[in-house]
Structure formats: C-alpha cells, structure tokens
A and B are shown apart, each in its own frame.
Chain A
Amino acid sequence: MSFDIFLNVAIGGVLTGLVYGLMALGLSVIFGVVRVVNFAHGEMMTVAMYLAVAAFTILHLDPLLMLVPIAAVLFAFGYLLQAGLINRFIARPEHSQFLLMVAIAIIIVNVLLILFGPDAQNVQVAYAFDSLQVGPLIVDATKLYAGLGAIAAAGALFAFFRFTQIGTAIRACADNYTGALVVGLDVKRLYALTFGLGTACVGAAGCMLLLIFDVTPTVGPSYTLLAFVIVITGGLGSMPGALVGGVLIGFTEAMAGLLFTPSAKSMFAFAILVLVLLFRPQGIMRRRPA
C-alpha cells in the first residue's frame, strides 16, 4: 500500500469524524448543561436521517438544503421533550433517567420501523461520486461537503454560546444551578432550549451523515454508543473536545478499516474509550479538576 492511500483514507476518516463530532457535540451540550445522559441520541439522529430521506424521495430536496429545516424540526422535538417530560426527571437518580431515555429510544426505533420499513435507505445525490483531486489526494465531494457543513454548524453553536445573552445564561445554568435560580433565570426553559440545541446538532449531523452512510431504523443504538465514545474521549461537557474526539475516532475507524477489517473498526473506538476512561477520565481536551 502506498502512502497516498493512507493519506486519502485518513482524510476521509477525518471528514467523517467531523460529522461524528457534531453529533457528539449535541450529547455533550445536553450533558454539560442539563446533566442528563441522552441514551436516545443516536435514535434521534436516525429520525433526522429519515426526514432527509423523505424530503429527498418525495420533494427531491438535497439533504444539504434540508440541513437547516431538519435541524429546526429536531430542535422543536428536543425542546418539547425536555419541557414536557425530561424536566420532571432532573432530580431523579441516573437509572431512572436512563430508563426514560431507553423508553423514548424504543418508541423512536419502532415508529421509524413502522413508517419506513426495515430496509436500508439512502439518497443518490447528483454529486455522489464526484471527487476533488489535489495533487495525489482524492477527496470525496460528499465527505468534503459533510465535513465543512459540520464545521459551520459547530461554529454557529460556539458563537451562540459565546456571544448571545441566552447562550451566556445557559452557560450560567451549567456552571451553577442554584446561582442561576437565584439571579432569576428561568432554568427549566433554558434546559429545554439546551436540549433542543443538542437535538438540532444531531438533526444537522444526520443530514450530512446520510450523504456518507445508509440508514436503517435499528442503527440508532450504535450511533448512541459512538457519541458516548467521542464525548468521553474529548471530555464530557467540553465543546471543542467533542469535535476533536470525533475527528480522532473517525480517523481511528478509517485506519482500522484499512489496516484490519472494517467490521472490527468499532473495537478500536472502544479500546480508545477504555484507555481514556482509565488514564485521562476528564477527556483529552479538559484539564484535570483541582
């Protein structure tokens, strides 16, 4: 194998990893603020992927065009879920929250199964087989667009948290729950907003991932696990960490697929997870708390 192949696979892995990172970013934001682990995260992304499939087959709309509308739909879904249901579970023990999210995940998977059937679906966009050639490098157009889209979406989220008043208020809730209540923030509404933003991330990520992978109703749990691996690698609750973790895992999976066998690639991701949990439990991007 020549060096070019390595480089090409690596770039493909990094670009896919950026989309993984955006997906994990949603999980990280939700955990960082609401302190609830969204065990239905991957399932929520399959919802977005099927919305994109439906938009493409019925209305012939490109998934990249649908990115914003689908993210908006997922935002509404997450907002209502948090406001209507999860807010009641904030003070409950972890296993109780876990069961709630599992029940939601079961419902999502099977509603998708009823609506779309068990077969794998994808979209055939016009640029599906286009590629860009830069010297010896060949980059798939779909992966390039997906990766750039992920960076744009993540950038928008960073800017929101950094520069808007609501973003600042949400960060205040995450830093000090009681303090946020004391200064009069409507914490429950901010939690709902945050959960909505987290699901909007998977909404956007789902649209772009559809350019790269097929979707089936039952693929959700493996994306949930992948998101866990990524956020813990990057540091649970750390926003840059989620992106870096995503790139790292995407790169590792691509390399494992090239050097060993593609079906064993998730083993390497889990091995990284175990190593990070043991030796750097705060994640690669966070400083150890004093």
Chain B
Amino acid sequence: MIARLLEGMPRAAAVLLALLFALMAAAPLFAGDYLLTVLILILYFAYVGQAWNIMMGFAGQLSLGHALYVGLGAYTAAALFVHFGIGPWIGLAAAVPLCALVGAFVGFLAFRFRVAGVYFAILTIAVAEFARVGFDHLDWTRGSAGLFLPVAQYARNDLWHLRGHPVMFYYILLSATAIAGLGCRALLRSRVGYFWLAIREDEEAARALGIDTFRYKMVAVVISAAMTAFAGVIYAFYYNNLFPEQVFHISRSIEIILGPIVGGIGTLFGPILGAFVLTGLAEMLTGALAALGIDIPGAKQVFYGICLLAVIVALPEGIWPWLSRRLGLGSDKP
C-alpha cells in the first residue's frame, strides 16, 4: 500500500524521504532532552501545517483561525479527562467529530453565503476569537484561570492515558506526521484532490465543469479541522495546561500557517520543511543570542521577523519549490 502511495515519485526523492524518516525514527537514541523537545515542536508544526495546507494549499481556502481546532480538540479531551477520567483516545473520538462539526459550520456559513478570499480569512479569525473569549468565561473548563491536567511521575509510559516520557509523544507525532504526509499524497491523487486543485485555480471554471464546489470545499475544511483536532489532543496531554489566551490566540493560528507558507504552499513536503526551518531558526537564534550574552526580551523575535521578511521577499513560492528544483527532484506541487 505504501509502495502504491509512493508511486510516481522520483527515485531520489523517495530515497531522501526514507533516509529522513529513518533518521527521525532513530533520533531519540542519540538526541538529548533539549533536542528532543525541539524535534517534538517541529513534528507538531509539521503535522498541523499539513492539516492547514489541505485547506489552503490544495483547495485554496485561506484559514487564519486554525488555533480554533487545536484549542477545541485540546479542551475537549482535557475536560473529559479532568471531569470524568475519560482517556485521551476516547477523548479524541469526541474531539475529532466536534472539530469536524465546527469546521463544517464555519464552512457552511462561509460557502453558502459566498464569503470568500480576505473575508473568509477574517471570518475564521472571528470564530477563533469568539471561542477564545467564550472559553475565557466558561466555568466548566475553569475559564481564564486555565485547565490543568494532573501531573505525576510515571514509572513507565502509559500509551493509553498518554502519560509518560516525551519520547512517547515524539513517536506519536512522528507517526502522525508520516501518516498525514502519505494521506495528503493519497488525497491529492484522488478525485477529490483534482477537484480541489481545480477550485483553487479557478472556482468559476470548476463550477462550470460541473464540480460541486460547495461540497468539495466543505470536504477540505472538515478534513483539515478533524486532522487538527488530533494535534490539539496531543498538545493538551503534552503540555498538561491549557489557557484560552494561549491556545486560541491569533498568534497560535499564525504560527501554524508560517511553516507551510515559508516551506511552500500547496506542496507536499513544504509544510514539513517549513516546520524544520522555522523552529530550527527560532532555536538557533535563542542559542546564538545566549552565546553572545545578549539577554534582551524581544531581540530574538526581531531577528526572526527579519529572517521571515527575507524569505518571503526572496522566495515568493517558498523554500521547497526552489530547493527541489536545485536538487533536481522535480516539483511536487501539482
């Protein structure tokens, strides 16, 4: 099955991808605690970046409120755990349909009422902000005081309750990222994928060809939201604390989409590369400033912003389309 999914990929690209996966799978053997934390962050962004990319990169619908689905997923699973002792995997089974439903609701409102482009983007921000302020006042999840998961020292990794060493989270996220990557490729090569690309390139033309654009845009939003819900559940159980001000904040949504845009929007590998580049950059800046003895809050973010500016000015399509041309791997942007 995996062989079929890799079909049609340049041999060099497939080999490099396999090498990367093997390296990542072996990383916990030699990586220290710090590096492991960074890698977990990278995988998290690679995963949610791919989820977002389905909506924007494939179907052309710009969402600026994906923190909504991370937050809803996280709060659903965490609240079920705190209040009823329900484990995260069952919580996931509640979080995914909930996020899919909310995604469908946002999509329905937007697409039925022909809210598109910038307006759609701002609608997604509005819904996420609405949720942020709402959760701030929702007593069941402890409002703005924050929801905390009980933390204790665990002798062994309890995969069922997601309690344990970061290595466990690392492998969960690594598998999720790999599955998401294969899933995205499968989607792109399916009937739905071709419809999405048609909608992204020219919605009017797609409709003229008889594509039910409403339906396929809905499919994109729902899949993207459901995928993001999983990241939210992992987020909740990895960090063990949730504050509406943090999880639903617009800057979380922006973080999610920086990776895919910098990596290469609409490509398969772009979101993953973008997560490596941006998280790596942020950590390197931290290290460099610490080595230079510069301890000014904000200095790191200024350099980060300048790097972001440089990338977007120099490589409008993102890093991966440019890099894969350089490496002779061909374009994976359909």
Contact = CB atoms under 8 A, between A and B. Distances in A.
B300 to A, nearest CB: 8
Contacts, number: 120
Interface stretch (A140-148, A153-161, A264-272): A264-272
Interface of B: 56, 62, 64, 109, 113-115, 117-119, 121-123, 125-127, 129-130, 133-134, 136-137, 144, 250-251, 254, 257-258, 261-262, 265, 296-299, 301-302, 304-306, 308-309, 312-313, 316
Mostly, the B contact residues are helix
A278 B261 contact: no
Interface in A98-139: 98-100, 102-107, 109-111, 113-114, 118
Mostly, the A contact residues are helix
Contact of A270 (B126, B302, B316): B126
A261 B137 contact: yes
For chain A, give the interface size range. Answer: 35 or more
Contacts of B127: 270, 274
B308 A267 contact: no
A229 B313 CA distance: 29
A129 B115 CA distance: 45
A114 B258 contact: no
A37 B118 contact: yes
Given A274-B127, A277-B126, 16 more contacts: A94-B121, A95-B265, A96-B312, A103-B308, A104-B305, A106-B305, A107-B306, A110-B302, A111-B298, A111-B302, A113-B301, A225-B125, A232-B122, A264-B133, A267-B130, A273-B126
A263 B129 contact: no
11 contacts: A96-B316, A99-B258, A100-B309, A111-B298, A228-B122, A232-B122, A236-B119, A266-B129, A274-B127, A274-B130, A278-B113
Contact of A102 (B258, B265, B302, B316): B258
A110 B298 contact: yes
Given A94-B118, A267-B134, A110 B299 contact: yes
